[in-house]
């Protein structure tokens, strides 16, 4: 069962919307809890036992872990004075287009990070990473320093440092599963570069000199979704980016991401984001102030 103790970011003393970092001492057990944000916890001194979904790991100086939304976990005091740097954030702190995102793996696929989709990251098990060369600690110290200020430059630097730590962490992972074939990589590459075009799988199949049916089966097997679904996701992600970071009209954005019919764009956007493009933009404007 999920623990009743839910930590919400609004309870923390932070002057930066969707972000908080702090250093604290653990001298007793931290009971099972969940939270409505992504957490990166770094052990600066001492050691603890970290339990996440039934898996217990000892974490020591230089170790850190990332835990996703709604994932229950707890810390057990080992009798050693332990100092932890706790860096927490909501995905839309990284980019406003991630408003409503509740998955760290979705953050990894954002255009600012765009990490390989085959990365075997499981934030629900509290995977422990070692900070080789104290690189993560060095970046965390920069974030702690900038967090003391509240100017625009500080917020921008914190965002950049956070992305840096995420990418540095993902480099430590081994790729899981079967490597994508050149055919599937060809389709992915074309979708990400040509999403605004009237892109058809049959045309890409001709370029590869294979049948569209065979390519479709191959693509679905390796990505877990069909070509049309994949294309729509990429288009909507780009639309979110433009809505959050530009003043372009909704009709212009629809056309830029590949929709000639604005009504179809609106209905597709609502299906993925549970809101209209205009409402999405207004929300992000209000929360960026």
Kindly report the CATH number assigned to the domain that includes residue 116: 2.60.120.280
Stronger pLDDT, 64 or 7, i.e. the higher one: 64
Question: How far apart (Å, rounded) are the C-alpha atoms in residues 42 and 120?
Answer: 21
pLDDT at 96: 84
pLDDT at 107: 87
Q: Do residues 55 and 146 share a domain?
A: yes
Query: What's the chain's average pLDDT?
Result: 87
Q: Do residues 134 and 237 share a domain?
A: no
Q: Do residues 106 and 208 share a domain?
A: no
pLDDT band at residue 108 using 50, 70 and 90 as cut-offs: confident
Q: Do residues 156 and 204 share a domain?
A: no
Q: Do residues 216 and 119 share a domain?
A: no
Q: What is the four-CA torsion angle of 21, 23, 26, 30, rounded to 10 degrees?
A: -10
In a domain, 175, yes or no: no
Q: Do residues 67 and 112 share a domain?
A: yes
Question: How far apart (Å, rounded) are the C-alpha atoms in residues 42 and 60?
Answer: 9
pLDDT at 8: 86
Domain boundary residue, one of 140, 170, 200: 170
Give this prediction's pTM.
0.73
pLDDT band at residue 119 using 50, 70 and 90 as cut-offs: low
Where residue 219 sits, what CATH number does that domain have?
Answer: 1.10.10.60
pLDDT band at residue 2 using 50, 70 and 90 as cut-offs: very low
Q: Residue 127 pLDDT > 70, yes or no?
A: yes
Find out whether 125 and 53 touch, Cβ atoms under 8 Å: yes
In a domain, 176, yes or no: no
In a domain, 64, yes or no: yes
Q: Do residues 162 and 244 share a domain?
A: no
Q: What would the pLDDT profile of 30-86 be if each residue is shown by its tens digit? A: 998 888 899 999 999 999 999 987 788 899 999 999 998 888 899 999 998 999 999
Q: Do residues 150 and 271 share a domain?
A: no
Q: Residue 221 pLDDT > 70, yes or no?
A: yes
Q: What is the four-CA torsion angle of 58, 60, 62, 63, rounded to 10 degrees?
A: 10
Q: Which residue, among 55, 88, 86, 99, has the nearest Cα to 73 in the 3D structure?
A: 55
In a domain, 272, yes or no: yes
Stronger pLDDT, 141 or 183, i.e. the higher one: 141
Find out whether 143 and 87 touch, Cβ atoms under 8 Å: yes
Q: Do residues 144 and 231 share a domain?
A: no
In a domain, 103, yes or no: yes
Find out whether 6 and 33 touch, Cβ atoms under 8 Å: yes
In a domain, 1, yes or no: no
Q: What is the four-CA torsion angle of 151, 154, 159, 162, rounded to 10 degrees?
A: -150
Q: In the chain, how many domains are there?
A: 2
pLDDT at 134: 92
Stronger pLDDT, 128 or 119, i.e. the higher one: 128
**H-only helix segments in the chain:** 91-94, 104-108, 135-147, 152-170, 182-194, 201-208, 212-223, 227-245, 250-256, 262-273, 277-287
- Any idea what DSSP says for residue 41? E
Question: How far apart (Å, rounded) are the C-alpha atoms in residues 164 and 157?
Answer: 10
In a domain, 202, yes or no: yes
Domain boundary residue, one of 111, 144, 170: 170
Q: Residue 171 pLDDT > 80, yes or no?
A: yes
Question: How far apart (Å, rounded) are the C-alpha atoms in residues 260 and 269?
Answer: 14
| Structure token pair of residue 117 | 């989709």
Phi-psi category of residue 19: left, alpha or beta, with phi > 0 → left and psi -120 to 50 → alpha: beta
Q: Do residues 165 and 192 share a domain?
A: no
Q: Do residues 113 and 48 share a domain?
A: yes
In a domain, 66, yes or no: yes
Domain boundary residue, one of 170, 204, 236: 170
How are strands ordered across the β-sheet holding 30-35? 6-7, 30-35, 73-77, 47-52, 55-60
Average of pLDDT values for 213-233? 90
Domain span holding position 44? 6-170
Q: Do residues 95 and 229 share a domain?
A: no
Q: Residue 268 pLDDT > 80, yes or no?
A: yes
């Amino acid at each position: 069962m999920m623990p009743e103790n839910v930590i919400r970011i609004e309870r923390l003393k932070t002057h930066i919307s969707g972000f908080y970092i702090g250093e604290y001492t653990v001298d007793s057990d931290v009971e099972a809890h969940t939270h409505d944000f992504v957490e990166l916890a770094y052990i600066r001194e001492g050691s603890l036992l970290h339990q996440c979904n039934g898996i217990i790991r000892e974490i020591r100086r230089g170790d850190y872990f990332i835990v996703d939304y709604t994932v229950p976990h707890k810390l057990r005091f080992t009798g050693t004075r332990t100092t932890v740097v706790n860096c927490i954030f909501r995905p839309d702190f990284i980019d406003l287009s991630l408003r409503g995102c509740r998955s760290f793996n979705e953050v990894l696929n954002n255009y600012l990070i765009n990490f390989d989709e085959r990365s075997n990251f499981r934030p629900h098990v509290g995977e422990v990473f070692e900070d080789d060369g104290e690189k993560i600690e060095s970046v965390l110290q920069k974030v702690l320093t900038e967090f003391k200020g509240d100017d625009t430059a500080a917020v921008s630097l914190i965002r950049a440092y956070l992305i840096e730590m995420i990418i540095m962490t993902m480099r430590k992972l081994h790729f899981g599963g079967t490597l994508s074939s050149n055919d599937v990589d060809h389709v992915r590459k074309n979708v990400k570069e040509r999403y605004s075009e009237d892109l058809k799988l049959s045309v890409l199949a001709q370029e590869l000199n294979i049948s569209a049916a065979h390519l479709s089966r191959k693509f679905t097997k390796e990505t877990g979704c069909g070509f049309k679904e994949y294309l729509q996701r990429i288009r909507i992600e780009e639309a979110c980016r433009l809505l959050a970071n530009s003043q372009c009209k909704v009709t212009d954005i629809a056309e830029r991401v590949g929709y000639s019919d604005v009504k179809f764009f609106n209905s597709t956007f609502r299906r993925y984001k549970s809101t209209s493009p205009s409402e999405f933009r207004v929300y992000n404007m209000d929360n960026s102030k």
